[in-house]
Chains A and B, each alone.
Chain A
Amino acid sequence: MSLVLDEPIMATPPRWRMFLLRLLRNRSALVGGTILLLLVLSALFAPLLAPYDPFKVNPIQRLRPPSWDHFMGTDEVGRDLFSRLIFGTRYFLLICVVTASISASIGTLLGLLAGAGSRFVENLIMRVIDVMLAFPYILMVLVVVAILGPSLWTGMVSIGIAGIPGYARLVRSAVLTVRREDYVLSARALGASESEILFGTILPNVVSPLIVYLAFSMPLAALVTSSLSFIGLGTQPPAPEWGAMLVNSRTYLFSAWWAVAGPGMALFISIFGLNILGNGLRDVLDPRSGR
């Protein structure tokens, strides 16, 4: 063949490594990622990090201010707050993961079907989604909890369900854009079936907006779960969940501020971390930010 080379070849590192490099160069992703990493580490090594048993009641030591023995103070029954906060990371992450996987998996599936299915399927799914969205978020959660009874798991499931519409709408709009792309037509011309196109061609191309949305909706879900515990419908005492800890200690806000400040700050920092991680991910994954 008398064919000339088009251009020199360049060796390219794998896509995920490029992505990681860009992420490390992004300051908000770095800070958010560090906070998330610390949360994960403390959840994993909670028994090693916590100086006391988080459930151990000590009536003599109740509502002690921060000191060398209890450097975040103790709560109304004398449990060490720092230890409870450390164990609380497990609840926080559990809530994030469970709610997000429920809403992301079901929402993505519905969005894909609505975006690529027939008009009838699309109308059916989107009208249900519209009805769900028209319901106030917290009211919907309350309805589900009222049906299933208050516990941490029903709280998480209900918040997971309440998050479905957001994912479905996001994925559907992304699919509507992607399915008009030439590579979808090309895949069809090469004999890809409709399901291969949906899951093999379209889905990988809507993952970036999905990851960003995930990072933003996880802290929101964690916040709502904590609110649910706060009104007594989520985690039940004595579990060291931050929202539940806030409820128990709010009575002592003026006499023992530390019992409120600890879980409050823990929630604030964790949610802040996830949010700025989301910001960073959006900057890195957004195609408009240049590749």
Chain B
Amino acid sequence: MSKALLAIQGVKTEFRLGRARALQAVQGVDLSISAGEIVGLVGESGSGKSVLALSMLRLVQPPGQITDGHILFDGEDVMQMSARALSAWRGRDVGMIFQQPQSCLNPVKRIGWQVAEPLLRHEKIGRKAAWAAAIDLLRAVGIPAPEEKVLAYPHELSGGQAQRVMIAIALALKPRLLIADEPTTALDVTIQAQILELLSERCRTLGTSLLLVTHDLGVVARIADRVAVMYAGRIVEEGPVEAMLTAPSHPYTKGLIAAAPQLGQAQGGRLKDIPGAIPDLSRPYAGCAFAPRCELRQSLSLKACDNAQPAPTTVGSAHTVRCFGAAGSIQSEMRVTS
């Protein structure tokens, strides 16, 4: 843990809804990313994964606010950074790309300038050199004929090309960490695979760590080293990708894996789903947030689920889970019954 590039501890982010009400989007999350590692952050819509990603860069906009916790980047406390230090840090040491690539590019500026901008901002480099560098960067992300494309405007790009450009911009200064918030969700399936391949290839080449936020387990299985599953503002299970996919411990993770459609599955069968929805995060809840939807709790009728938060339990090497039912003896009992 000590050599983690980014380590966040007990981060809480809330959105004020009124005088007394607040939506607890992130409810105390610990997560660390090592240098060169690719971590997947998985969860369904509304689980708080995007807010967590924004919180890591202190990009949460009012009425959202980080109310507690530490964010350490290479030992430096991000929460204590001044506005100037924060701007210098973003773009140079960390980059971020978002879900809708076309709306993330400034519609009135040529692609070339948008790629060159972080270079001009963070490095002492002339406009001509930055322009040439922009062409090289676009070539590196597989944009065809980059000498011509630098002159294009964002509306002239396809979604896949726009995301390539975003990747080029975010990686222009070889940051040590890239946060990708659902980078392929808005793209069609064939392009998704290309973009994922590009992302992991660029990150491995540059030695950049990648936090990949997604709701798609298939995406994670393909490129991640480690996975964290988020539910209702908390990380419920975290571990190496192999262990997580083959031997998931948390009933929510199991549900997610079971809900993912697979090729070659028996035809005509319905996809499995997890009944219910994410609880209202503006109402504090004493027990495990997943309890109302949890099959395991129903079959075991554990009292603890409704009254307390489960603490993280180790179930394998670097594999932890927050569930009363999944831990220790109860888990093996569960294996027998299932």
A residues lining the B interface (CB < 8 Å): 1-7, 9-12, 14-15, 181-183, 185-194, 196, 201, 204-205, 207, 291
User: Which of A2, A186, A204 is the one whose CB lies under 8 Å from B108?
Assistant: A204
B106 lies within 8 A of A204 (CB): yes
B59 lies within 8 A of A190 (CB): no
Interface membership of B3, Cβ < 8 A: no
Given A191-B91, A191-B92, A191-B122: A186 and B98 interface contact (C-beta under 8 Å) = yes
User: Which of A4, A15, A183 is the one whose CB lies under 8 Å from B104?
Assistant: A183
A201 lies within 8 A of B151 (CB): no
Given A3-B194, A192-B121, A194-B83: A205 and B89 interface contact (C-beta under 8 Å) = no
Residues facing A in B130-146 (CB within 8 A) are: 142, 144-145
**Min C-beta distance of A123 to chain B, whole Å:** 15
Q: Which residues of A contact B57 (CB under 8 A)?
A: 189
B149 lies within 8 A of A9 (CB): yes
B87 lies within 8 A of A191 (CB): yes
Residues facing A in B80-129 (CB within 8 A) are: 83-84, 87-92, 95-98, 100, 103-109, 117-118, 121-122
**Min C-beta distance of B211 to chain A, whole Å:** 13
B153 lies within 8 A of A6 (CB): no
Given pairs A191-B90, A191-B92, 4 additional interface contacts (CB within 8 A) = A6-B161, A14-B151, A186-B104, A189-B91
B91 lies within 8 A of A3 (CB): no
A183 to B89, CA, bound (A): 19
Closest chain B residue, CB of each to CB of A291: B155
A4 to B194, CA, bound (A): 8
Given A11-B148, A190-B117, A291-B155: A182 and B98 interface contact (C-beta under 8 Å) = yes
Instruction: Enumerate the 7 nearest inter-chain pairs by beta-carbon distance, A residue then B residue, closest first.
Output: A191-B91, A189-B96, A3-B142, A191-B90, A186-B104, A190-B91, A182-B103
Q: Which residues of B contact A187 (CB under 8 A)?
A: 106
**Min C-beta distance of B95 to chain A, whole Å:** 7
B residues lining the A interface (CB < 8 Å): 57, 59, 61, 83-84, 87-92, 95-98, 100, 103-109, 117-118, 121-122, 142, 144-145, 148-149, 151-153, 155-156, 158, 160-161, 164, 166, 169-170, 191, 194, 197-198, 201
A9 to B156, CA, bound (A): 9
User: Which of A10, A185, A205, A207 is the one whose CB lies under 8 Å from B98?
Assistant: A185
Most B C-beta atoms less than 10 A away, residue of A6, A10, A190:
A190
A189 to B59, CA, bound (A): 7
User: Which of A10, A190, A194 is the one whose CB lies under 8 Å from B170?
Assistant: A190
A196 to B198, CA, bound (A): 30
Q: Which residues of A contact B145 (CB under 8 A)?
A: 9
A5 lies within 8 A of B166 (CB): no
Q: Which residues of A contact B117 (CB under 8 A)?
A: 190, 192
User: Which of B90, B148, B161, B191 is the one whose CB lies under 8 Å from A190?
Assistant: B90
A3 lies within 8 A of B198 (CB): yes
Q: Which residues of B contact A186 (CB under 8 A)?
A: 96-98, 104-105, 166
**Min C-beta distance of B163 to chain A, whole Å:** 10
**Min C-beta distance of B184 to chain A, whole Å:** 13
Most B C-beta atoms less than 10 A away, residue of A187, A188, A191:
A191
A15 lies within 8 A of B153 (CB): yes
A189 to B104, CA, bound (A): 11
Closest chain B residue, CB of each to CB of A203: B108
B103 lies within 8 A of A12 (CB): no
B84 lies within 8 A of A193 (CB): yes
Q: Which residues of B contact A192 (CB under 8 A)?
A: 87, 91, 117, 121
**Min C-beta distance of B252 to chain A, whole Å:** 29
**Min C-beta distance of A11 to chain B, whole Å:** 6
A5 to B144, CA, bound (A): 7
A201 to B109, CA, bound (A): 9
Closest chain A residue, CB of each to CB of B155: A291
Q: Which residues of B contact A194 (CB under 8 A)?
A: 83
User: Which of A2, A10, A182, A190 is the one whose CB lies under 8 Å from B100?
Assistant: A182
B89 lies within 8 A of A182 (CB): no
A189 to B197, CA, bound (A): 23
B156 lies within 8 A of A188 (CB): no
A191 lies within 8 A of B88 (CB): yes
Can you list 5 A-B contacts (CB < 8 A)?
A: A1-B201, A12-B151, A189-B90, A191-B87, A191-B118
A10 lies within 8 A of B156 (CB): yes
B106 lies within 8 A of A205 (CB): yes
B158 lies within 8 A of A7 (CB): yes
Q: Which residues of B contact A188 (CB under 8 A)?
A: 59, 90
A207 to B109, CA, bound (A): 13
Most A C-beta atoms less than 10 A away, residue of B106, B149, B156, B158:
B106
A76 to B107, CA, bound (A): 57
User: Which of B89, B103, B158 is the one whose CB lies under 8 Å from A6?
Assistant: B158
**Min C-beta distance of B93 to chain A, whole Å:** 9
B89 lies within 8 A of A191 (CB): yes
A5 to B157, CA, bound (A): 12
A291 to B96, CA, bound (A): 29
